[in-house]
Chain A
Amino acid sequence: MGKTRTLTGAFLTIATLTVTGCSGSGAPSAETASAPADASTASGTITVLTQRTDLIKSGAMKAYAAEFNKVYPKIEVKFEGLTDYEGEVKIRMNTDKYGDVLMIPGAVAKNDYPKFFAPLGSSIEMSDKYRFSDKSEVNGKTYGIAQFGTANGFVYNKALWKRAGVTAWPRTPEEFIADLRAIKSKTGSTPYYTNFKDGWPLVQWSANIGSVTCSEEANNKLAGPVSPWKSGSELAVIDSLLFDIVKDGLSEKDPSTTNWEASKSKLAKGEIGSMMVGSWAISQMRDAAEKAGKNPDDIGYMPVPVQREEGQCATLVSDYQQAVNIHSDHKEAARAWIDWFTDKSGYSAKEGAVPTLKSAPMPDTLKEFVDNDVTFVERSESKTGAVNDIDKAAEIGLNTPDYRQKLVDIARGAQKGTAESYFAELNKKWDEAAKTIGS
């Protein structure tokens, strides 16, 4: 009997603790985090959470903070670098203490933004000044400002492609495959590298939704039972291209042991012909080329090989969005930092990325795109919340590597199926999930 009583006691304790654990904190005020009126008197200590541990280590972040202090002398900025940014921030967001400024983690549902972040202003005003502002718009208010954006396409080794006799950008998926074949037969290099093992480079393919039809609304159109992989659609074209590359043996021989860091210098040395990554990778590849003693100018960037009347298109998508913690005690100071970092710090130019500020010019890394009149499609993200809900309910994961890893596996014969059967399966999952969510 004694045993039973102890057990009951233990369970009661657990039950109480569980219940108290759930009663959440009261609703914090939803006042707009506006920039301070007077820069010289604004004060406070703010903590900025960032995924760029490398910039903290190299002291670059501190240098930015020193520049910032020239304008706002009384605001102290502290940085906290998180290696596993998504994972750690997600858990910390169960408390009130997740820094003053943070990048919005992908795990937060868009409709929950008002519960976690202070609004930064009305979305109409924000969209006049900034790109990508509709990505964090909820009910007419914007909750985040992008650090920068990226254009999307393939990074490739120009010298290698030239050696294979290809000088012009391919205009259709068929041409692209033919070019890769030429690279394989004439140079013996690996024409395309999937980075299968690391997974996230496969996710980059999703960033091209919109490049195929040149439509800003491409992503929003996925919100509903629309069979996203039906023939001719964005995803079908993109994923078929990947499928065909792998099926024709134009990718690396053993995808299960790929290595991202090593792939950079391999591309620079011409052992790899091309990779699908965002334009942010161009400067990294050029660095790698310099380190390997090769010419950094050999690193080129080309759009998705689909020619339309408008020409070739490349999507612009937002990187992490900076937001202000709704529980922050120094919302003004936090906003001051975000504005300064986005507008004045020169961060995006240094990273060779597409600036968030609409008035700022495109970076040097995208010179080829500008010269060749590639149309930049600034993809609307107004329905991303709904699209993500369907994606998660369907457990497909447009922004996770799993489904494309399976696609690659099917293409190289490691798993059963064909592109058609797999696309049909994905369509079915998507449509069913869309219907259950819509109901």
Chain B
Amino acid sequence: MTETTEAVSVKTHRATPSRRGPSPTGDSPRVPGSRGRTLRRATPWLFLAAPLALLITFTYVPVGNMIYYSFTDWDGISPDRNFTGLDNYVQIFTRPELFRVFFVSVYYLAASAVQIVIALYFATVLSFDLRFRNLFKGLLFFPYLINGVAIGFVFLYFFQDGGTLDTVLSWFGQNPGHAWLGDPGSANTSLAGVSVWRYTGLNFVLFLGAIQSIPGELYEAAQLDGATRWQQFRHIIAPSIRPVLSLSVILAISGSLAVFEIPWIMTGGATGTSTFVIQTVKLAFQFNKTGLASAAAVVLLLIILLITWIQRRLVPDEKVDLV
């Protein structure tokens, strides 16, 4: 897609001088506007100056700093820091326990799969005419609007011994008496469940938007041909929302690797619920190993970039052609 745009713009550029008239040298019309031309060239940059300044100050400088810290033994507070070269990176890759926390991400990966399926299901159902459609849309999107800290606290009470979940289960005669956040397996499952509850709304809205951009005639035509709802989904909806779907998958994977808020608030990483980011935060702020933590952050960044790149390779971004 980008290639086409570039080609078009090149063409217009070339076309400009010819439109200016029959000047053999092409110099004369430029004379009065030479200053104006530089100004015109600078215009986009002037517009860009503010956002670029913000971007550089708040994104690239901190990232640059972080990369710099990752080569030092800085403790995060001392005015002195020593350059230690690749030492931090060597440590990260030679200490298996630092990588073990990625297993926790598997729970969240599985949860993201569930989340995408649920979101896709509801987006499809609610894109057809249905009673109380907007109400359901609102209900599904609502959790995403709540602050993550609040969600953490709400679910802390939900999972507590004798809390909401146990109460609801007891209505059905079930009394498991289980400490939901008490052992690593059920704690991680519970936390991943909370994350599904929270983020389904976002996926749902993305899918719904994509589905609603499909022209209605397609469904009519399909219905005339006797296609079932499943067939409509399979052959119309799924292919046309593919870009959004693949975007969601990328977000889900990078999100699963970088889970932080929910486990941090609910368990603080205790009972085997520590994720890579929690571990990094602990390295930086509990053990004052800012250098090592920066290196860990850089490694996480690289891993996510790598996964995104592989995924873009495997599932290239095709142009969707509906008609």
Residues of A within 8 A of B (CB): 10-11, 13-15, 17-18, 21-22, 24, 87, 90, 93-94, 105, 107-109, 112, 115, 196-197, 199, 253-257, 392, 395, 397, 400-402, 405-406, 409, 412-415
CA distance A395 to B182 in the complex (A): 24
Contacts of A397 in B (CB 8 A): 286-287
A-B contact pairs, 29 of them (CB 8 A): A14-B60, A18-B61, A18-B64, A22-B68, A87-B285, A93-B77, A94-B77, A107-B75, A107-B76, A107-B288, A109-B78, A112-B79, A196-B270, A197-B156, A253-B161, A254-B182, A255-B179, A256-B181, A256-B182, A392-B287, A395-B283, A397-B286, A400-B282, A402-B269, A402-B270, A409-B270, A409-B271, A414-B184, A415-B271
Q: Does B268 contact A (CB under 8 A)?
A: yes
Which residue of B56, B282, B287, B289 is within 8 Å of A14 (Cβ)?
Answer: B56
Q: Which chain B positions have C-beta within 8 A of A11?
A: 64
CB–CB B161/A257 < 8 A: yes
> Counting CB contacts under 8 A, is B187 at the interface?
yes
B-chain residues with CB within 8 Å of residue A115 when the two chains form the complex? 78-79
Are B161's CB and A402's CB within 8 A?
no
State whether B160 touches A254 (Cβ < 8 A). Answer: yes
Confirm or deny: B267 has a beta carbon within 8 angstroms of a beta carbon on chain A: yes
Tell me if B122 is interfacial: C-beta within 8 Å of chain A. no
Asked if B193 lies at the interface with its beta carbon under 8 angstroms from chain A, I say no
B163 at the interface (CB under 8 A from A): yes
Q: With A14-B61, A253-B179, A397-B287 as known contacts, state yes or no: A415 contacts B272, CB within 8 Å.
A: yes
- A residues in contact with B163, CB < 8 Å: 257
A415 touches B184 (CB 8 A): yes
The count of residues in chain B whose C-beta lies closer than 8 Å to any C-beta of chain A is 39
Please name all residues of chain A whose beta carbon is closer than 8 Å to the beta carbon of B286 when the two chains form the complex. 397, 400, 402
Say yes or no: B75 contacts A109, CB within 8 Å: yes
Complex: how many Å from CA A14 to CA B67? 11
B9 at the interface (CB under 8 A from A): no
Residues of B contacting A10 in the complex (Cβ-Cβ under 8 angstroms): 56, 60
Q: Which 3 A-B residue pairings sit nearest by Cβ, starting from the closest? A: A256-B181, A254-B161, A14-B64
Bound together, the chains give a CA A94 to CA B217 distance in angstroms of: 63
With a CB–CB cut-off of 8 A, which chain B residues contact A13? Answer: 56, 60
- Specify the main secondary structure of chain B where it touches its partner: loop
Q: How far is the CA of A415 from the CA of B180 in the complex (A)?
A: 15
The proximity string for B residues 149-166 relative to A, scoring 1 for CB distances below 8 Å and 0 otherwise, is 000000011011101000
Within 8 A of A (CB), among B96-153: none
Chain B contacts with A in 260-318, Cβ cutoff 8 A: 267-272, 282-283, 285-289
B77 touches A107 (CB 8 A): yes
B183 interfacial contact with A, CB 8 Å? yes
A254 to B77, CA, bound (A): 37
List residues 52-76 of chain B with CB under 8 A from any CB of chain A: 56, 60-61, 63-65, 68, 75-76
Could you tell me if B282 and A402 are in contact, using CB atoms closer than 8 angstroms?
A: yes
Flag if B78 contacts A112 (CB, 8 Å).
Answer: yes
Assess the B184–A256 pair: CB atoms within 8 A. no
CB distance from A134 to the nearest CB of B (A): 21
Q: State in angstroms the CA–CA spacing of A217 and B200 once bound together.
A: 56
Interface centre among A14, A108, A253, A409, by most B CB within 10 Å? Answer: A14
B267 touches A197 (CB 8 A): yes
Q: Could you say which of B65, B81, B288 has the most chain A C-beta atoms within 10 Å of its C-beta?
A: B288
CB of A176 to closest CB in B, whole Å: 25
**With a CB–CB cut-off of 8 A, which chain B residues contact A197?**
156, 267-268, 270
Q: Which residues of A contact B285 (CB under 8 A)?
A: 87, 90, 107
Interface-central residue, B56, B77, B160, B181, by most chain A CB under 10 Å = B77
Tell me the complex Cα distance, A355–B60, Å: 50
B182 touches A392 (CB 8 A): no
Q: B65 — which chain A residues lie within 8 A by C-beta?
A: 18, 21
A400–B289 Cα distance when bound, in Å, is 14
Q: Is the CB of A256 within 8 A of B283?
A: no
In chain A, what residue has the closest Cβ to B72?
Answer: A22
**Cross-chain contact of A257 among B60, B156, B184, B269 (Cβ < 8 A):** B156
B44 to chain A, nearest CB (A): 12
B200-227 contact mask (Cβ, 8 Å, vs A): 1 or 0? 0000000000000000000000000000
Q: How far is the CB of A191 from chain B (nearest CB, A)?
A: 17
When the two chains form the complex, which single residue of B63, B179, B267, B288 contacts A254, counting CB atoms closer than 8 Å?
Answer: B179
Q: Which residues of B contact A253 (CB under 8 A)?
A: 161, 179
Complex CA distance for A22 and B76, rounded to whole angstroms: 12
Which residues 171-190 of B have a CB within 8 angstroms of A?
A: 179-184, 187
Known: A109-B77, A257-B157, A257-B179. 12 other contacts (CB 8 A): A17-B61, A18-B64, A90-B76, A90-B77, A105-B77, A108-B77, A108-B78, A109-B78, A253-B161, A254-B179, A257-B156, A257-B160
